[in-house]
Structure 1
Amino acid sequence: PRFCRSKCHKNFKKKRNPRKTRWTKAFRKSAGKELTVDNSLEFEKRRNIPVKYNRELWSKTMEAMKKVEAIKNKRQARFIMNRLKKGKELDDAANISEVKKNIHLIRAPHAGKLKQKLKRNMTLLKSYNCVFKKKKNLVP
């Protein structure tokens, strides 16, 4: 077989399993890190039937290859973005839980006490007003 670089050839000679070697395409596809099942990947397959040269057919083929490549790139980008989206959601959840655990570092201990005091004072005022109204009604 033909190899892209010498390290690939060396690993092949050492009988290393490419699905276990993290930097290989085989690993990335088996681990679900790259797009594996897609119609655009079917066009790249090797065809062993020789075709007689035809200029028009050749030009159409080249145009089609460009279109297929554009579609494939777009789908791969979408696949990667969907993978990254899940990680972002997990990060957000982790950040929220960390803030909930360590809220005492963010919020001062006396924060919210002013509102509680105001509420307590308002209830006291209302109760005093009720008492005074009752006393006024009792006097005449």
Structure 2
Amino acid sequence: MRVENCFFCGRPAWPSKGITFMRNDGKSFRFCRSKCHKNFKMKRNPRKLKWTKAYRKNAGKEMVVDSTLQFAARRNVPVRYDRELFAKTLKAMERISEIRARRERVFYKKRMAGKRARELAAARKLVEQNEHLLPRLRASTKKELEAKAAEMGVEVEELEREELAKLRSSKKTKVFGREVVRQRVRTDGGVEEIPGSGEGHMHGDGHDWENNDDDDDDDDDEMDTD
């Protein structure tokens, strides 16, 4: 059983699967799926599409020079059938696939080495450039921390750093104005808070403009019914 590679993306095209295109000059093109066939008919360059093997090899994301890749080369050499040779060939194919998988893992580790350090450097640079967008402590909070530091005998900077870390880690941050919380009365007489009612944008006058928009829509509906 011969497993051919897709002419466009390079994936394996299994027997009885995919599409075979025969050109007028007699050359055949094997495609693993209709997606590759359509891109081939649109005359697209596989080296410019990120989901193809050609692009990954061009970008250095796939092994190109390796001894295990030579075994997958197509050879049209007739060989007389031999059961022992056939069994040895199958064992060798399994062993070669194991070696290739191990070498691909090593290749990936070498290629991704230092990625974490680069990401951290980019994140630090982004924080330095946009430091004015980070949450800041209020003057009242700073005074409280100063009094607390005087009582505990600790530096104020440490408490400020801890408080800022809490603000940045938490999803909800302190904002100016009061938080509008909607409640509804249950049938049994209890009161429960409507989930997500206090997540609107707050302003200095304590109004939640998103919730007010909903109220305006309800008023418009009532006016229409009248």
Q: TM-score range by the shorter chain?
A: 0.5 to 0.7
- Alignment of 1:10 with 2:38, yes or no, is yes
CA deviation map 1:83-111 (0-9, x unaligned): 22231221233356567886xx9xx9844
Match of 1:80 among 92, 102, 108: 108
Alignment correspondent of 2:98: 70
What is the correspondence of 1:1-140 to structure 2 with a 5 Å cutoff?
A: 1-95=29-123, 110-111=156-157
Residue deviations 1:43-69 (CA, integer Å, cap 9, x gap): 100110110110000111111111110
RMSD: 2.7
Following TM superposition, by how much is the alpha carbon of 1:77 offset from its aligned partner in structure 2, in angstroms? 1.1
Q: Specify every segment of 5 or more residues in structure 2 that has no aligned partner in the other structure, as ranges.
A: 1-28, 136-141, 143-154, 159-226
- Letter of the 1:30 partner, please give it: N
- Distance in structure 2 (CA, Å) of the matches to 1:19 and 1:82: 23
**Larger helix share, 1 or 2:** 1
In 2, distance between residues paired with 1:70 and 1:14? 37
Q: Percentage identity across aligned positions?
A: 48
TM-score norm. by structure 1 comes to 0.67
Higher strand share: 2
3-state SS of paired residue (2:118):
helix
Deviation at 1:26, TM superposition (A): 0.6
- Taking structure 2 as the reference length, what is the TM-score of the superposition? 0.43
- The Cα offsets for residues 15-42 of structure 1, whole Å up to 9 and x where unpaired, read as 1110011111111111111111111111
Q: Distance in 1 between matches of 2:157 and 2:37?
A: 66
Q: Indicate the residue corresponding to 1:128 in structure 2.
A: none
Task: Single out whichever of 89-98 and 25-34 deviates more from structure 2.
Answer: 89-98
**Structure 1 Cα separation of the partners of residues 123 and 40 of structure 2:** 44
> Which has the bigger relative contact order, CA under 8 A and spacing at least 6?
1
Residues 20/100 of structure 1: CA separation in 2 closer, same or farther (3 Å cut):
closer
Larger Rg: 1
